[in-house]
């Protein structure tokens, strides 16, 4: 059984038994899915959406680290996601592109911040390719401090992210394993280091006959002994578990967050997150098409 067929089989079994599975409910996928899904629902017709999400070190720490980065979760997996090919929607077609492409600069300008950031396409929200076929364009991008993606591109061009062994002085070595051995100790969080989780999503379309853009913003920092990455990943998972346990979500099958967390359930989730200091701001602009 192929991986795709296994997923279909599992979904069919869950539908037949009325068992709901929420597939991907953390930060990204997770918070990114439910906010973009909400923006699409608020428009009469949505044409494009971009989710921009990422975990980064505080600015002062980033300046002291290679790639302007600090490890907040498995770095070998981060590098894997930088090297894959993934699906996006572009001009109405589902196309395959390289991770790390379609780079974009933006300024995070909410919650008293004015921070220049960069992002590039990554494979974080695959469900939207099938769950929202009406979108002409869709992609998910990973947010980093300026300079990170230039550094990653240099590593790629040098072959240091490759997995095919090469011979060095008579010994076969894997370039990526050598890189990990060298860089991981320099990227690990040290005592007192703090992370930040950023989200800036845009949904474009039409509302009441006017071009309209809905944006979602989040800038989260550590609190109560928890890193920001732990907070924005763990709390959404816990909320989803509560929704399953109390029977709020009853539909059987494998359910993407953008489908099963909507309306009153969406409002409840955002209110619960805000109680824990995770605030997501929504802005609506009519009549013009802003950045993104």
Reported confidence tier of residue 209, pLDDT bands at 50, 70, 90: very high
- Continuous segment of H or E residues that includes residue 217: strand 210-220
For the residues 99-122, what does the mean pLDDT come to?
97
Residue 171's pLDDT is what? 94
Per-residue CA distances from 215 to 42, 159, 278 (Å): 12, 37, 16
Of 120, 97, 126, which Cα lies nearest the Cα of 33?
126
Q: Is 31 within 8 Å of 269 (Cβ atoms)?
A: no
Ramachandran angles phi, psi of 250, nearest 5°: -115, -20
Fold of 19-286: Dihydrodipicolinate Reductase; domain 2 (3.30.360)
* All residues at 6 or more sequence positions from 129 whose CB lies less than 8 Å from its CB, including other chains: 87, 88, 89, 94, 138
* All residues at 6 or more sequence positions from 179 whose CB lies less than 8 Å from its CB, including other chains: 79, 155, 160, 161
Report the predicted TM-score, pTM, of the whole model to 2 decimal places.
0.93
The pLDDT tens digits of the residues spanning 74-94 come to: 899 999 999 999 999 999 999
Reported confidence tier of residue 197, pLDDT bands at 50, 70, 90: very high
Residue 82's pLDDT is what? 96
| Share of residues in the chain with pLDDT > 70 (%) | 98
Q: Is 23 within 8 Å of 125 (Cβ atoms)?
A: no
Can you read off the two tokens belonging to residue 98?
């390289």
Task: Tell whether the model's pLDDT for residue 265 goes beyond 90.
Answer: yes
Residue 39's pLDDT is what? 98
Domain ranges of the chain: 19-286
The pLDDT tens digits of the residues spanning 127-184 come to: 999 999 999 999 999 999 999 999 999 999 999 999 999 999 999 999 999 999 999 9
Of 39, 53, 37, 51, which Cα lies nearest the Cα of 212?
39
Reported confidence tier of residue 289, pLDDT bands at 50, 70, 90: low
Reported confidence tier of residue 291, pLDDT bands at 50, 70, 90: low
Please state, rounded to an integer, the average pLDDT across all residues of the chain: 95
Q: Is 167 within 8 Å of 178 (Cβ atoms)?
A: no
Residue 290's pLDDT is what? 53
Categorise residue 157: left if φ over 0, alpha if ψ from -120 to 50, beta otherwise: alpha
């Amino acid at each position: 059984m192929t991986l795709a067929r296994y997923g279909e089989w599992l979904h069919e079994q869950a539908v037949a038994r009325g068992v709901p599975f929420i597939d991907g409910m953390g930060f990204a996928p997770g918070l990114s899915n439910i906010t973009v899904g909400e923006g699409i629902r608020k428009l009469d017709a949505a044409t494009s959406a971009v989710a921009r999400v990422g975990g980064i070190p505080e600015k002062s720490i980033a300046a002291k680290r290679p790639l302007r980065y600090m490890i907040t979760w498995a770095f070998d997996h981060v590098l894997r996601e930088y090297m894959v090919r993934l699906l996006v929607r572009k001009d109405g077609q589902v196309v395959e592109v390289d991770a790390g492409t379609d780079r974009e600069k933006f300024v995070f300008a909410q919650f008293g911040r004015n921070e220049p950031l960069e992002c590039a396409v990554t494979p974080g929200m695959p469900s939207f390719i099938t769950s929202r076929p009406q979108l002409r364009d869709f992609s998910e991008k990973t947010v980093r401090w300026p300079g990170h993606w230039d550094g990653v591109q240099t590593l790629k061009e040098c072959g240091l992210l490759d997995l095919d062994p090469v011979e060095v002085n008579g010994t076969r070595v894997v370039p990526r394993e050598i890189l990990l051995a060298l860089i991981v100790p320099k990227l690990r969080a040290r005592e007192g280091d703090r992370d930040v989780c950023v989200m800036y999503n845009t949904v474009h379309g039409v509302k009441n006959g006017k071009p309209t853009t809905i944006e979602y913003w989040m800038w989260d920092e550590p609190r109560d002994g928890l890193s920001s990455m732990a907070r924005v990943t763990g709390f959404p998972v816990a909320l989803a578990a509560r929704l399953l346990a109390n029977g709020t979500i009853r539909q059987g099958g494998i359910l993407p967050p953008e489908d099963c967390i909507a309306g009153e359930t969406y409002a409840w989730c955002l209110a619960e997150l805000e109680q824990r200091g995770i605030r997501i701001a929504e802005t609506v602009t009519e009549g013009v098409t802003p950045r993104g």
